[in-house]
Structures are given as C-alpha cells and as structure tokens.
Amino acid sequence: MSVLFLLYLFVSFVRIESINFVEVTATGETQTYEEQQDAFAPVPVAVVIKNGRSSWVDYYWENPETKELVYQGKIDPRGTTATSSYVGHVFVFTPMKKSTKKAFARIEIKADKNLYILPLGKKNRKEKDLKYYQSLLEEEIFVEEYKKKTGKPIQCIWGGNKSKPKKWLAHYPRSPPILHMWSANHVGQTHHVTSNEYYWTCIPDDITDANAVQQCRDNKPLSITLQVLSTDPKVFQIDNVTSLLCVLECVYHTKVLSEVEADLVISLAKPKIKRSLAGTHGGLVSNTRTSKNTWIDRNEHAVMETLYRRAADILNVSESILYPTKNVEQLQVVIVFPFHQQKQHKLNMSSRVLFASHHDFGADGNPQQRMITLLFYLNNQASPNAGGETIFPKAKDGPLKAHPGKGNAVLFYSMLEDGNADDSSLHAALPVKEGEKWIGMSFPYFRKSCKCFHFVCLCEWQ
Ligand SMILES: *[C@@H]1O[C@H](CO)[C@@H](O)[C@H](O)[C@H]1NC(C)=O
Ligand SMILES: *[C@@H]1O[C@H](CO)[C@@H](O)[C@H](O)[C@H]1NC(C)=O
Ligand SMILES: *[C@@H]1O[C@H](CO)[C@@H](O)[C@H](O)[C@H]1NC(C)=O
Ligand SMILES: *[C@@H]1O[C@H](CO)[C@@H](O)[C@H](O)[C@H]1NC(C)=O
C-alpha cells in the first residue's frame, strides 16, 4: 500500500558546510553537535503524477548522466503514481508498450511544483475524458492555492536556501484525520499518558497458566512521557516510563518496552525474517540496503496483545482500531545489517542519507494513507558510532537524528492536521556500520471505509 521509491543520487557539486544536528542518544539525552555535510546535496521532493487519459501509460526516468531512459512502471488509466525525485530530473511518458519514440509527454521536476498532470491524447477527447481532465485541472488549482495559503516558508537544510510553502501531497480531496494527533508546539514540550498495559518481566513457558503469567507481570500502571523532538515534522521521543503507585518497592523503568518484551519481538521475528526489498517498481531499486523484514500479528503472542494496547495508549487512539482489518498493519520488524565497506566508499555521508530517504505515506491515489509511525528500537547500538540512527533531513528545527536505544520509541506523523501529507516527514535510516539493528514499526493509517448498497455508497473516514 505504501509505496516507497528510492532514486539513485547523482551529486554533481559539493559544498561542505557545518550543520547542527540534534541527537537523541540511548541514555535519552538530547544533544546538539556539528557535523560536516555537503550543503548542496539535493533533497528529494515528493512528486505526484496523474494520468488524465482513459488508457494505460508507461513511464521512464531519464538518467541525468547517460540520458538513458530507465523504465519505471505503468500508470493506470486515470491513475496516479507517486515518487521521490530531485529538481531537474526528467520523466518521459509513452502510451503503454509503445516505443519511447512515441513519447507524448516529458516533465522536468521543478522545485515549486509537485503535481504533474499528463495531457490528453487525440483519442481521449470524449466528453467524459474532458470532464475528468477538467477535474484534474481543478485539483491543480486547489494545490496551487493551498501552497499560497500555507505560504509559511520552510528552510531547506540541504539543497541550498530554498524557502518553500507546504504543498498538497495527499489524496485529493480529503478531510482532516480523525485519529488523535498530539500537539507539538515547541521542542521539549511533553505529554503524559498512563497505561494499564503493565510490563512483562519474564515470558511464561505456558501463557495459559494464570499463576505463571502473574509472576511474569508487573502490576503497576505505567506513566509514559512523549517529548517533542521536532515541531515540523512532528516527532516525539517516548520515554520517562515509571511504574506509578509504588510506595515501598518502586521499580523505575525508563523504557517503553521492557528488556524481555523487546527480546521477545526479535525472537518472534527471527524465524520468519526474509529478504526485504527496498522499494518496488522498475529499474531504480537498489540492492545496497542490507535489511530483512517480517510482520508480526497482534494475536501471535499474549505479549504482542499487551504491546498493541500500550501503543494505543501512547497514540491516544482506541485499541479496537489497531487490527489489520481496521486501521493498522501488522507490526513490521526489520533487521539491518552493516553496510558493506566496498559499497560505502562510493557514497559519502549526505548522499548515503538521501539515498534511502523516503516518506511513509503513499500519495499514489489511494485514499488510505499511513499517518502515524511508531518506531520501537529493539536493541542497542553496538557502539555510539555504530550508525543506524533515524534521521529527519527536513526537520525545521534542524536535522534530527535519533537512536534512543533498546526498548525506547520514536513517534512521528506523516500527515498534517488539515489532511495533507507532510513532506517534512521525509526520513531515512543511517547505515549501520557495526553490529545489527532491530526495529519494530507500527503504521496506523487514515482510511476511508465505504458500505455500498445498490450502487449507493456511504463512506466515512476512520
Ligand atoms: C538565505 O535566504 C535568506 C532570506 O531569503 C537570505 O537573507 C540569506 O542570505 C540566504 N542565505 C544564503 C546562504 O544564501
Ligand atoms: C516524567 O513523568 C512524570 C510523571 O508522569 C512527570 O511528572 C515528569 O515531569 C516527567 N519528566 C520529564 C523529564 O518529562
Ligand atoms: C485520550 O486522552 C484523554 C486525556 O488523557 C483520555 O481521557 C482518553 O481516554 C484518551 N483516549 C484514548 C482513546 O486513549
Ligand atoms: C562526498 O563525495 C564527494 C565526491 O563523490 C566528495 O568530493 C566530498 O568531499 C564528499 N563529502 C563528504 C562530506 O565526505
């Protein structure tokens, strides 16, 4: 459902600049430090391409160096595709299965434009084609006006000094999300939640044995703090977890997941893990991302049920929506292996970051989109310099880099309160240089559910 596209990066010129990073470390502290970066390395831009024709279209990406056309995939009749691209990159469109000499459109990605509408052909001039095309042009006007209305410029960290208003990237039209979103008014702001989904301190051999379960379960509510790390995009660190109501023997945990809970998620994932493919569709997919992933269902283990419910408390949403048939996918568990040395030397810091940058929403015309990412870190970094941090290169308060350590979590929203998708939520995982990285990701999404009766559909957003 969510389409994450990766494009190779061609860094043409370089200017090294000091950039202040905000880093969240395993001890939960935030600190600012300087790092040398290539200031001109381009930042990916989210691009939405709409096919006005009632016929299939093939599209190609033009390699900026060789001018060779690289097949990307097809676009449905009246369909939409979304990708991450770079200013100046060129895409070429042909009727399906026709030679690239039959290209009918060529678009060059502009800094201030994210919606591209493919022109109609001579054969698509029927009234209903024109009507549909007209609706796309109306959308284009909406998108332009939205940009003017939200004209608050945001500074681009990489890619020079471009000031850009927010763009409309979501499915159009769409209403604001109804799932709760925590506010993020300033860095350091905190929210507190209480969860009755107590810690597991051991895993009973027999989960149906009530006595054994009781011995393995803490019986104190958890107090959990969400602390704002970034206001744009909205990113929170989840920590400061303490058992409430303790009088004599207070157990102070500081993690969202206890040691055994984090270990259990890994052990459930291990047997199932298989090669994960970073990206889909066409020739630009890279094999250099050495990661594998799998999915763990809520009903796979009693502890998973606890974790889903605890996640619901953190997100302030009802646990009853956290099912694959409702608003969440299964928990995705990913292991990332160290980046191969021979591949690493070709790509430097900033290009490596941008290489794997992506959004979690898919603006591919699907009304459903991932709106929340809750990212659990299931193990510690092998050393402080082992890499594997999650980085938000477009964060307005400065690029943000986080690896809060085993058992802790980071929450971010890919959507804005007005229903738009948030371009600033672009993120990447820094390459792991040493050891392995294990994470678990939960993606609650904003969906439209329709009940149809004799061609009359009643739809509601959930
Ligand atoms: C960035 O833009 C601001 C405002 O437009 C301008 O004052 C500043 O000089 C620019 N900085 C660079 C490095 O171009
Ligand atoms: C930690 O949580 C407690 C209780 O919820 C709260 O009073 C305290 O301010 C929090 N500390 C931080 C640093 O957020
Ligand atoms: C959301 O938070 C409010 C205030 O703490 C609480 O009363 C409410 O029960 C929470 N809702 C859910 C679904 O967690
Ligand atoms: C990035 O790579 C370019 C050439 O590929 C090099 O000139 C530049 O110094 C590198 N930047 C950093 C930060 O290492």
Which residue of 181, 316, 319, 321 sits with most ligand 3 atoms within 8 Å of its CB, as the best mutation to test the pocket? 316
The sign of the CA dihedral 93, 95, 96, 102 is: negative
pLDDT at position 286 = 39
- 42 Cα–ligand 4 center, Å: 13
pLDDT value at position 15? 42
* CB within 8 Å of 172: residues ≥ 6 apart: 139, 142, 143
Mean pLDDT by 10 residues, the chain (462 residues): 29 41 52 51 76 94 90 91 85 93 93 88 84 92 86 45 66 82 94 93 92 89 91 89 57 79 94 54 38 88 96 95 87 78 44 60 71 94 87 79 91 90 85 87 78 67 64
- Measured from the alpha carbon of residue 242, the closest ligand is 2
pLDDT for 149 equals 82
Domains in the chain, CATH or no CATH each = 44-155 (2.60.40.780), 190-451 (2.60.120.620)
Q: Are 82 and 46 in contact (CB under 8 A)?
A: yes
Ligand 4 atom at shortest distance from the alpha carbon of 349: 13
**Strands of 115-118's sheet in order across:** 80-85, 45-51, 115-118
Rounded distance between C-alpha atoms, residue 237 and residue 223, angstroms: 14
Q: Are strands 45-51 and 115-118 parallel, antiparallel or unpaired?
A: parallel
Mutation test residue for ligand 2: of 186, 223, 229, 254, the one with most atoms within 8 Å of CB: 223
Q: What is the pLDDT of residue 96?
A: 93
